[in-house]
Amino acid sequence: MNRESLELPAATWRKSSYSGGSGGSCVEVADGFVGVMPVRDSKDTAKPAIVHSTAAWQAFVTGVASGAL
């Protein structure tokens, strides 16, 4: 699936379990897209999502979890 053909209006978005319930600065991701990970700002969901490759997203998550980022 290429980035231009994503049907994001039907996406199911989720926040990190680390976001808490305070409504702070959060990102949401949408699972279920082969090869890519759509990411959006939870405070302004009308803005377009940023679509990362699955590999790039995994590298980011690993870097955050390890404290490298």
Taking the CB of residue 16, how many other CB atoms lie within 10 A of it? 13
pLDDT digits (tens, 9 = 90+) for 17-65: 766 666 667 889 999 989 999 998 888 888 888 999 999 999 999 998 9
18 or 2, higher pLDDT = 18
- In this prediction, residue 67 carries a pLDDT of 92
Given a cut of 50, is residue 2 above it in pLDDT?
A: no
* Amino acid identity at 32: G
Run of H or E residues at 39: strand 36-41
CB burial of 29-65 (b: ≥16 within 10 Å; e: otherwise) equals bbeebeebbbbbebeeeeeebebbeeeebeeeeeeee
Given a cut of 70, is residue 4 above it in pLDDT?
A: no
Tell me the pTM: 0.76
